[in-house]
Amino acid sequence: MSVLRVALSTRWLVGLVITVVFALITTMFGLWQWDRRGQAVAEMERVENNYDQAPVAIDELLTGGDSFDEDLKWRPVILEGEYRSEDQLLVRTRPRGGQVGFDVVVPFVTEGGQAYLVSRGWVPTGEEQDGPDLVPAAPSGAVSLEGRLLPGEATIDGRGAPEGQLATINLPQATSVTGVELYPHAYVAMASESPPVSPTPLLQDKPMLDEGPHLSYTFQWYLFGILGFIAWGYLLREELRRRKGITRPEAASKARSDQDFEDALMDRVDAMERR
């Protein structure tokens, strides 16, 4: 029986097509995980390059444009001006250390008149309410603030927020809610402020430099695709052996064992009849 003839039969061609489709799907997932790894590595490089740089005036980095330059992410900046505490907002559903709480965001107007949204940190959800028990107030009057640049966040379909809160740090939405014309592409995660006040929200931690399991997942998806072809080839081989009447050693051994048992049983029956 020709291997090619069996492999080209309808049944085995359909199996091959299914195997190819499966391999394409696993390849797509592998490429997706590889892209995720690339994003994680790029983020780690930005943190390493930018996080501990000397702070500069925010106007030196944000000079306009239609979008945020990702290479500026985590760059330390200095702002001089005043908080607009009356327009303070809470950003809900923000995880930290296994808890869910809120980010406290406040518009900050610089001496030059430009307004930026500042995230002063995180506060936990209250014990008996869907809101924090305490929201530390921002300092009043002239403030010198140091923080790090982060891009504004997108909205999430179907997720809203009650009055005085935001679902994400979406800057156009924050502008609409507060009525303050905020810089539309980036906000500032506070690192320190002067004069200092106490208490303050928990400041944002430095991101962990961890690319995650994306590389191992990439190899796993590619391996799954290869295993599909191995399985197809193995089943085809077994089909050819079956058609040629070739029995696997363990199957033949079991068949001989069964036959030996039957022969011994028949011998006992014959001996009993002769008695």
* pLDDT tens string 100-142: 999 999 999 999 999 999 999 999 998 878 889 899 999 999 9
Report the pLDDT value the prediction gives residue 130, as an integer from 0 to 100.
Answer: 83
64 — pLDDT class (breaks 50, 70, 90): confident
Q: Rounded to an integer, what distance in angstroms lies between the CA atom of residue 197 and that of residue 189?
A: 17
Which residue, chain included where needed, has tokens 């014990």? Answer: 127
Q: Structure tokens of 29?
A: 């997932």
87 pLDDT exceeds 80? Answer: yes
Contact 4, 237 (CB under 8 A): no
Q: Please report the pLDDT score of residue 213 as a whole number.
A: 92
Q: Give the model's pLDDT for residue 3.
A: 78
Q: Which amino acid is at 231?
A: A
Tell me, what's the pLDDT at 273? 56
Q: How confident is the model at residue 2 (pLDDT cuts 50, 70, 90)?
A: confident
207 neighbors 47 (Cβ within 8 angstroms): yes
For residues 241 and 251, the answer to whether their CB atoms sit within 8 Å is no
What does R_g of the chain's alpha carbons equal in angstroms? Answer: 34
Which run of H or of E encompasses 192?
Answer: strand 186-194
Whole-model pTM? 0.75
What's the pLDDT tens digit per position in 202-225?
999 898 888 889 999 999 999 999
Q: Which residue has the tokens 């156009």?
A: 172
Contacts of 183 (CB under 8 A, 6+ apart): 62, 114, 115, 116, 117, 171
Query: Which string of b and e fits 42-69 if b means at least 16 CB within 10 Å?
Result: ebeebbeebeeeeeeebeeebeeeeebe
* Residue 262: band (very low, low, confident or very high) from pLDDT cuts 50, 70, 90: low
For residues 251 and 224, which has the higher predicted lDDT (pLDDT)?
224
CB-based burial label for 99 (10 Å; 0-12, 13-18, 19+): exposed
* Listed residue (248, 231, 242, 228) closest to 6, CA to CA: 242
Identity of the amino acid at 25: I
CA-CA distance, 245 to 247, in Å (whole number)?
A: 6
Please report the sign of the dihedral spanned by the C-alpha atoms of residue 112, residue 117, residue 122, residue 128. Answer: positive
Q: Residue 245 has what pLDDT? A: 75
**pLDDT for the residue numbered 176:** 94
